[in-house]
Structure 1
Amino acid sequence: MPLKKSISGFRGTIGGKPGTNLTPEDIVTNVAGYAAWLKESGAPPLVVIGRDGRPSGSVVSALTAATLQSMGIDVIDCGYATTPTVEMAVTHFGAGGGIILSASHNPVAYNALKLLNARGEFISHEAGQDLMAKVAAGDITYVTVDQLGSLRTDTTALQHHLDAVLGHPLVEAEAIKAAKFSVVLDAVNSVGAVSIPPLCEALGVTCEIMNGELSGQFAHNPEPLPQHLEGLMEAMKSPGKDLGIAVDPDVDRLALVGPGGRWIGEEYTLATVADYVLQREPGPVVSNLSSSRCVADVAARYGQPYYASAVGEVNVVNKMKAVSATIGGEGNGGIIDPRLHYGRDSLIGLALVLSHLATSGQSINALRDSYPHYEMVKDKVDVDADFDLSAAFARVKEQFPDVKRSEIDGLKLDFPDGWVHLRASNTEPIVRVYSEAPTAERARELAAGVKGLVY
C-alpha cells in the first residue's frame, strides 16, 4: 500500500522503496517532522509511545524513539499498549504529545504512526498540514550530541488506565461483581490479550480468551466484523456465556456477540452504551455520518439531541466538545466517554456495557431487541490515486436531486427508509460505500444504486 498521510497519521505496509510504503526512511522523516512541529508549538519536549502486537512493532518503535531523541525529545516507552492507554498516558505523564504505533484494524503487513497532541488527542487537520509541510520542505534540524533526548520504559500506563475505568462514576463495579458474568474475548493475538483480562478480573468477570498470544500474527482478519468472528460466535453457543467481545489490534473498537452466538455487532455497541449513559446523565449524543440511525433513535428516546460529525476520531471529538456531548463515538465500536478522556476506548466501553447488563438485569440479546432494527452494508470501491471523487459525487447528486444530503464528509444521501454514505477512506486507497435500512435487502439495494454511479 502506498504511504497514506491523513488526520489518522502515517500508515502503510512495511518494506519497499522510500516514499511508497512505510519504510525506515519514511518513519524517521515523518517522526522528525512531528518532533519539529511539537517543539515549535511550545509543548513539553516529552513524547509517550506505545505499540500493538504487530511483528514490525519493535522495529518501528526503535526507529521512532531514536528519531525523537535525535530531535532533543525525551521519550517514555509504554511498550505493548492499547491506543486509549497511550492517549491517557500523555496527560498522566504531562507529555507534550504521543505516538501510537498501530495500524488499527489493518492486516499484519501494515503499521502506522498515529500522532497525539498534549491532550492525548489526535492532532488537528491544521497541525497535520503544518507537520507535512515541514517534512516536504526538509525543515528539520537534529540536535547535537549534548542535547539528545532520554529514553525510559514505563509499564504503569495500563494500570493507570484500568484504575481510571474502575473509578468511573457510571461503572457499577459492585453490581458487575455480583452478577458473576462470563465473557469470551477474541483478542486477535494483540494487546487486547493483556488489557481486557485484567479489567475483567478486577470486575469479577470470568474471561475465556481466544487468540490470546501477543504475537501480532492475527488469527483472522483483524477488523471486528461478523465474517471474521465465526470462532467467537461459535464459542458463544456454549451454555453459561453472557457476552462475547471482540477488539481490534489496538483495542479502540469493541464488537459484541450475545448468548447463542447472536451477532450484536459493532454498530450497536454505541447504542447500548448511550442507552445506559443517558438514563443517568442526559445530554447530547454524537456519532459520525457512517454510524447507525439507531444511535439517534436512542437519543430521541430520552429527549436528547443527536449530532453527526465527519468520520474520524478527531472530528467526533471536536463535535462532542462543541455541543458538550454526554457520550459519543463511532459506529465501528468506538466509544468516547468525555468523563474518562476524548478517545475511542474499548475498556470503558466494555465496563459500561457490563454495568448496563448488571443494573438492568437484561441479557445483551434482550437489550438488542429493545432497540430499532437496522441492517448495514459496508462496501467499497477500489480507486487509483488520480481518481476524480468530485466528479463521482456530481454524478450521484444528479441522479438523486431531491434526496436530502450532507456534504460535510464525502456525500451522504438520507432516504426516507435508509441512507447511503460515500467517502474517501482515511487509511486505504478506496471509496467507502456504507448504507443502512431496516432490511439487508433494502440496504444492499441502496448501496448498489449509488455504487454503480461512482465509476
Structure 2
Amino acid sequence: MAERLFGTNGVRGIINEDMTSEMVLQLGKAIGTVMNGMVAVASDTRTSADMLKMAISAGIMAVGRNVLDLGVLPTPALQYYVRTRSDIKGGVMITASHNPPMFNGIKCISYDGTEATRKEEEAIEEQFSKEIPGAAWNYTGEMERVWGAGEEYVDAIVSKVDADAIRKAELRVCLDCANGAAYETSPLLLKKLNVKAITLNCNPQGESPGRPIEPTEDNIKDVLSLTRATRSDLGIAHDGDADRCVFITSDGKFVGGDKSLALLSKYTLSKQKGLIVTPVSTSSLVAEVVEAAGGTIIFTAVGSPIVARKMMETGAIFGGEENGGLIFPEQQFCRDGGMAIAKMLECVAKAGPLKNQVSKLPIYYTVKKKIDCPNDMKKHVLEYIENESAGAMIDKVDGMKATYDDGWVLARPSGTEPAFRIFSESKDEVVANQRAEKYETMVKEYLNMWFK
C-alpha cells in the first residue's frame, strides 16, 4: 500500500523539512499523471508559495501537462475557475490555511471544483510512490499566466445575492484578511456592493500575518475593537486562504461559526424549505434553529468535503461547519469565505442588524479539549470511552458522540495530528464543563494506565 500523504486538508508540513522542493516536484508529477490534462494552480500569500508553485508546476509539466498560473487567490476562487472551464482537469491550491507561516501545503481540486475525493488522493499517492517517467522533450507541458480570475470570482458572487438590497443599505464593515489570499478579492467584493470597508491586515505579507492566522476570538482582538470603535455594522475576519470567515457584531462581540451557520440557515429557509447539512461537531443551536424554521438537518462526519458531497447527494440548500466554513450550492460545493460575506451582508440588509439577530439565538455552552494521543491508540481510546458512556445514546458517525438528556459529548481522533478532541455541549454551562473534564480525565487516565 502506498504511503499516505494527504490529511483532512491536503498535504501540509514545514518548508524544507517536510515540504521540500524534491518532494513537491515528485508530487507534481503524480498529480499531472492522475489529472491527465491541464491543471490550474494558485496560492495564498505565504513566503514559500513561489517555491512550491515552481516545484509542483515543474512536476506537472514534466509529465506533459500544461499549467495555468492564476497567481494569488482564495481557495474558493480557484475552485470556481476550475469548475467553470471544461478544458481544465483539476486544480492545485498552495496553502496551509490557518497553520503558522513556516508551514505550507498542497490541496488538490477535482475537475468539478470540489476538493479531491479520497479515491483521487489515493491514486496520486500510488503514483507518488513510483518512479514516474517524464514526457519526451518535445511533449513537455507549458505554463501560462492567467489574469482576472479573482474579479471573475467576485462578480459571480455579486450575481448570486440581492446586490441592490445590500447597496441600498449603505453598510460599513471592518475587514481583516490576515494578510492572506483575500487581500484583493474581499475588498473588491465590498466595493462592488457599495459597502464602506475599513481594512486591517489586507497586504500580501505571508511571513507577517499581523495576527495568528486562525480567526478565533483570541486571535482577532484588533478587529473586534476596531469594529466597535468605528461603529461599523459588522466585522469580518478571514483565515489564510479565505475559504472561511467569522463575523463580529457592531458592539465588537465575536460571532462563533455555529451562530453564523444558524443565522444563515434561518435566512435561507425563510426563502426556501429544505435540507441543511453539517458535521456532528456542530452546536445543537443549529439544529434547533433549523427545525424551528421548518428545515431538516442532516449530520455527517467532520470535514468540509464530506459535508459538500452529502449536500450534492441530498440536494441540500445550505450547509457548513462550526469553524466558519459555509457552503452555498447556488455558487459551488465548497467552503466559500467570499460568498459567506455577501450572504451575511444580504441577511443584515434584509433581516436587521447582526447584533439583534444574534441576541435572539438560543444559548448553548460548548467546551473543547485537545489531548495528546498516539495514533495507534486512537481506536483503543474510542472503544474504552464508548464502554464508559453507559446510559447515553451513542452515535458513531465520526468518533463517538454520546447524547444525554441535558447535552452531548463528542470524542473523536484528530485526522491531522496525534491527538484526541473532546467537544462537550449543554444549555447548562456547569454541565458542559463538568462533562468535558470527565471525558478528558477518562482519556488521560486510560492512556496513563496503558503506558505505565
- Relative distance call for 1:161 and 1:141 in structure 2 (3 A) is same
What CA distance in whole angstroms lies between the structure 1 residues aligned with 2:19 and 2:153?
Answer: 30
- Relative distance call for 1:441 and 1:256 in structure 2 (3 A) is farther
Pick aligned residue for 1:197 from 187, 210, 215: 187
Gaps of 5+ in 1: 40-44
Offset at 1:418? 2.2
After superposing the two structures, state which structure 1 stretch, 53-62 or 414-423, moved more: 414-423
Offset at 1:340? 0.5
Pick aligned residue for 1:96 from 76, 89, 113: 89
- Secondary structure of the 1:140 match is coil
Kindly report the root-mean-square deviation, in angstroms, between the aligned alpha carbons of the 2 structures: 1.7
- Per the alignment, residue 353 of structure 2 pairs with 363
Q: Note if contact 1:8-1:115 (Cα within 8 Å) is conserved in structure 2.
A: no
Offset at 1:29? 2.1
Task: Find out whether 1:445 has 2:437 as its counterpart.
Answer: no
What CA distance in whole angstroms lies between the structure 1 residues aligned with 2:224 and 2:69?
Answer: 36
- Per the alignment, residue 369 of structure 2 pairs with 379
Offset at 1:439? 4.5
What CA distance in whole angstroms lies between the structure 2 residues aligned with 1:5 and 1:91?
Answer: 22
Task: Find out whether 1:265 has 2:253 as its counterpart.
Answer: no
- Per the alignment, residue 431 of structure 1 pairs with 420
Q: Note if contact 1:406-1:413 (Cα within 8 Å) is conserved in structure 2.
A: yes
Pick aligned residue for 1:175 from 152, 165, 168: 165
Runs in 1 of length 4+ with deviation above 4 angstroms? none
- Relative distance call for 1:410 and 1:32 in structure 2 (3 A) is farther
After superposing the two structures, state which structure 1 stretch, 404-413 or 242-251, moved more: 404-413
Q: Which residue identity is paired with 2:67?
A: V
What CA distance in whole angstroms lies between the structure 2 residues aligned with 1:275 and 1:228?
Answer: 28
Task: Find out whether 1:353 has 2:344 as its counterpart.
Answer: yes
Task: Find out whether 1:73 has 2:62 as its counterpart.
Answer: no
What CA distance in whole angstroms lies between the structure 2 residues aligned with 1:73 and 1:378?
Answer: 45
Question: Structure 2 length as normaliser, TM-score?
Answer: 0.94
The sequence identity of aligned pairs, in percent, is: 27
Offset at 1:139? 5.2
Task: Find out whether 1:411 has 2:400 as its counterpart.
Answer: yes
- Per the alignment, residue 253 of structure 1 pairs with 244
- Secondary structure of the 1:261 match is coil
- Relative distance call for 1:432 and 1:30 in structure 2 (3 A) is farther
Task: Find out whether 1:188 has 2:181 as its counterpart.
Answer: no
Pick aligned residue for 1:114 from 99, 107, 110: 107
- Secondary structure of the 2:277 match is strand
Task: Find out whether 1:141 has 2:142 as its counterpart.
Answer: no
Q: Which residue identity is paired with 1:81?
A: L
Task: Find out whether 1:312 has 2:316 as its counterpart.
Answer: no
Pick aligned residue for 1:339 from 308, 330, 351: 330
Pick aligned residue for 1:211 from 178, 201, 226: 201
What CA distance in whole angstroms lies between the structure 1 residues aligned with 2:388 and 2:240?
Answer: 40
Q: Which residue identity is paired with 1:382?
A: D
What CA distance in whole angstroms lies between the structure 1 residues aligned with 2:199 and 2:359?
Answer: 27
- Per the alignment, residue 83 of structure 1 pairs with 75
What CA distance in whole angstroms lies between the structure 2 residues aligned with 1:396 and 1:126?
Answer: 31
Q: Which residue identity is paired with 2:42?
A: G
Q: 1:323-380, CA deviations, whole angstroms, 9 ceiling, x for partnerless residues? A: 21000111111110111000100111111111111112x2111111122112322321
Q: Note if contact 1:4-1:427 (Cα within 8 Å) is conserved in structure 2.
A: no
What CA distance in whole angstroms lies between the structure 1 residues aligned with 2:230 and 2:27?
Answer: 50
Q: Note if contact 2:247-2:260 (Cα within 8 Å) is conserved in structure 1.
A: yes
- Per the alignment, residue 450 of structure 2 pairs with none
Q: Which residue identity is paired with 1:6?
A: G
- Per the alignment, residue 10 of structure 2 pairs with 9
What CA distance in whole angstroms lies between the structure 1 residues aligned with 2:28 and 2:421?
Answer: 29
What CA distance in whole angstroms lies between the structure 1 residues aligned with 2:141 and 2:325?
Answer: 34
- Secondary structure of the 1:412 match is strand
Offset at 1:399? 1.0
What CA distance in whole angstroms lies between the structure 2 residues aligned with 1:155 and 1:265?
Answer: 35
- Per the alignment, residue 398 of structure 1 pairs with 387
Q: 1:25-71, CA deviations, whole angstroms, 9 ceiling, x for partnerless residues? A: 221222222222222xxxxx111111111111111111111111111
Alignment size in residue pairs: 440
